């Protein structure tokens, strides 16, 4: 596949089929999607439309059944598990609906954790974690534990953890799903701020108001992209 003049991410003819003994389910069909560096894209659609499956493929948590996925000029569709894990750790930051913080680690230790898997020295890890916490306004809580934080604060820490490794793209899966409206707005404001500072963000959301904040709003239905509202001008 020619990746010249490609964006940060290219999906070409992506399909995903789940097969059981009794059923064959086509979760994704003929997905074409380019994401440019610095873009903020929201993927929305009804439950079961394939948006979370698509995000899992973008995050190298799952593999497509067919098609090509190119990340930073490298084909990622058929990588072996170890290489997928390495790229996932270095190139992709994840923000999950459920925060996924470790309760017996401090805020700073949670943010440092992915960097430990890279083999980064403790002094460098600490500096990266402190810078990430500063970006999300949580520096003052570095020594606290997740149980001492509100839901909105925990999600900010989760964003800092995703940012600490300086990923090529930040993937957010329903990042406000477990938050009340006020905390949800604060997290969305944070993502907008990060985007304005140059971050590339791909977010799955069921909330159309959140989707409207993005450069592009991609709508899915029955495993296909049925609308793609391009960048605002």
Q: Which domain holds residue 85?
A: 38-61+80-229
The reply to whether 56 falls in a domain is yes
| Chain segment 153-176, per-residue pLDDT in tens | 999 999 999 999 899 999 999 999
| pTM: predicted TM-score of the whole model, two decimal places | 0.88
112 φ, ψ (degrees, to nearest 5)? -75, -25
First to last CA, the chain: 31
Is 1 part of any domain? Answer: no
Q: What is the CATH number of the domain that holds 114?
A: 3.40.50.300
**Length of the chain counted residue by residue:** 233
Which helix (H) or strand (E) segment holds residue 192: the answer is helix 181-196
Q: Per the domain annotation, does 13 fall within a domain? A: no
What is the band of 61 on the pLDDT scale with cuts at 50, 70, 90?
very high
Q: Tens digit of pLDDT for each residue in 80-112? A: 888 989 899 889 999 998 999 999 999 999 999
Q: For the chain, how many structural domains are there in total?
A: 1
- 216 domain-assigned: yes
**Residue 122: inside a domain:** yes
d(CA 14, CA 72): 17
């Amino acid at each position: 596949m020619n990746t010249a003049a490609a964006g940060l991410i290219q999906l070409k003819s992506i399909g995903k089929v789940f097969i059981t003994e009794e059923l064959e389910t086509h979760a994704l069909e003929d997905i074409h999607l380019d994401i440019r560096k610095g873009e903020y894209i929201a993927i929305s659609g009804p439950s079961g439309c394939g948006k979370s499956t698509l995000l899992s493929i973008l995050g190298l948590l799952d593999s497509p059944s067919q098609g090509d996925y190119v990340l930073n000029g490298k084909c990622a569709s058929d990588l072996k598990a170890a290489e997928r894990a390495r790229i996932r750790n270095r190139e992709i930051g994840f923000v999950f609906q459920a925060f996924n913080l470790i309760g017996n680690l401090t805020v700073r230790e949670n943010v440092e954790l992915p960097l430990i898997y890279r083999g980064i020295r403790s002094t460098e890890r600490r500096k990266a974690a402190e810078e990430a916490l500063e970006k999300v306004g949580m520096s003052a809580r570095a020594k606290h534990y997740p149980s001492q934080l509100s839901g909105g604060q925990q999600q900010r820490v989760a964003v800092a953890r995703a940012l600490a490794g300086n990923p090529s793209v930040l993937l957010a899966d329903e990042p406000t799903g477990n938050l009340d409206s006020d905390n949800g707005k604060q997290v969305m404001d944070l993502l907008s701020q990060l985007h304005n500072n140059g971050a590339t963000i791909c977010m799955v959301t069921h909330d159309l108001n959140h989707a409207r904040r993005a450069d592009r709003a991609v709508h899915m239905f029955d495993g296909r992209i049925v609308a793609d509202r391009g960048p605002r001008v």
